[in-house]
Amino acid sequence: MKPSLAKGTRDFTALEVSRRRYIINILQKNFELFGFQPLETPSFENLSTLTGKYGEEGDRLIFKILNSGDYTSKVNQEDWENKSHQKLTSQISDKALRYDLTVPFARFVAMNHGKLTFPYKRYQIQPVWRADRPQKGRFREFYQCDADVVGSESLWQEVELVQLYLKSFSQLNVSVTIHINNRKILSGLAEYAGITDKLIDFTVALDKLDKIGKEGVVKELLERGIAQDSIDKLDFLFNQSNDALENLLQLKEKFAGNETGLKGVEELEFVLTQSVNLGVDIQNLVFDITLARGLDYYTGAIFEVKADEAQMGSIGGGGRYDNLTEVFGVKNVPGIGISFGLDRIYLVMEELNLFPEEATSNIEYLFANFGGEETLEALKLINLLREKGISAELYPENAKLNKQFTYAEKKGIKNLVFLGGEELQNSTVRIKNLELGEQKTISQQEFLR
């Protein structure tokens, strides 16, 4: 059988794993600096936990897990013949791989709300799975790095998350812009255009503006049953200025008497203003009125982060979801969270050559194998180096030196150490720096300092 990978998945080499860890370590350090605590949840959930939380399109991308055993014996024959997919799914699958980390987190909070101290701040770094069409920057298995706060309606949480984003990307040397909107503004727009009953259709289509352009969005709105008159009223959305305050002022005029819309404008003004008061450069923040993020559970602020110097789509996103735990029977637990897209951040840093040397975990010393007593003494020195936290290994066979040289070069090992008979007699080691081509002999005592 010819070996192959499932589409949308990848193997990671030592270099890639080291670089991914570099990103994760920076994110984890900042999560904890901002007061977030770690959490891990199972890779799969009950299907009922996940469905109905991501919108119609999201539900279609959930990876279902077939029930074990002879699951087809319990399938209703009529449903099978009629190809009633929804009914069939419920009969052959009751588990699914998690689609994101937010819904499992909401399930955890609902199950443990009596034990948690609110506001509860958690971060989570784990893989998620989506039955999406693989393409550049879009995978079927990928990592999310989430930070969420539940139990607080304070808009200062939004301000803090803006700072967390900018501090983390600054340390990764990735220049970014945070696009911000508010779900209440989108609801206000739907009310203004007389399409409140079509809010989800409106936001799902609007969220595709970057991909399909104005004409594509208008076409999809019409296909979703939204009248041309309503679309005409929303035409100003596609002609926004670069001045956030000017755009907000325009909205205030259109939202006269529109309580929900005005509330969204007020919340967005607070987040933008206070972020700037705390030293955030306004150039890093963009009020994007067309930003919808097609997830049904957002109720307030919506974030999307884009790299300034690479074409990669969003490399982070999130928002406020004040009603999410209600579906699990627990009310009045408001929440907000953001996510860092590890895989896309990696691709951006790779494209822009932003990984520093310390992001590569190369072995410091390879000891040449001369066989006999020399091998035993080499291992003794290797053990002493490892006790000091210095990486070292012994070439396993007493092979020709050319072969040992080649091995070191291919693995990117910095130094080749020779401990032969002469070195043993003089208590020295001979070290060849493979990067510089330089060689020196020093005492073993000096070597181990």
Q: Name the H helices within 322-400.
A: 342-351, 372-387
Residue 123 assigned to a binding site: no
Query: 3-class DSSP state for residue 393?
Result: strand
* Inter-axis angle of helices 183-192 and 199-206, nearest 10: 120
Residue 346 assigned to a binding site: no
Count CB atoms within 10 A of the CB of residue 246. Answer: 12
Residue 110, CA distances (Å) to 153, 320, 327 in order: 17, 17, 9
Count CB atoms within 10 A of the CB of residue 220. Answer: 17
Q: Report the distance separating Cα 356 and Cα 413, nearest Å.
A: 17
CA 183 to chain centre: 22
Site of tokens 């998620």: 128
Q: What are phi and psi of 227, to 5 degrees?
A: -70, 155
Work out the end-to-end distance of the chain between its first and last CA atoms, rounded to an integer number of angstroms.
52
Do 124 and 105 touch, CB atoms closer than 8 A? Answer: yes
Give the neighbor-by-neighbor strand order of the sheet with 95-97.
Answer: 44-46, 95-97, 64-65
Residue 298 assigned to a binding site: yes
List the one residue out of 124, 133, 131, 143 whose CA is nearest residue 50: 131
Query: 3-class DSSP state for residue 182?
Result: strand
Residue 148 assigned to a binding site: yes
Cis peptide before 127 (omega within 30 of 0): no
Q: Report the distance separating Cα 216 and Cα 78, nearest Å.
A: 39
Structure tokens at 122: 């958690």
Q: Report the distance separating Cα 134 and Cα 65, nearest Å.
A: 20
Q: What is the DSSP letter of 75?
A: S
Q: Which amino acid is at 300?
A: G
Count CB atoms within 10 A of the CB of residue 349. Answer: 22
Strands (E), 89-195: 95-97, 120-129, 141-150, 176-182
Residue 102 assigned to a binding site: yes
Q: Which amino acid is at 66?
A: L
Which H or E element spans position 200? helix 199-206
Binding-site positions read: 100-102, 130, 144, 148, 293, 297-298
Binding residues for L-histidine: 100-102, 130, 144, 148, 293, 297-298
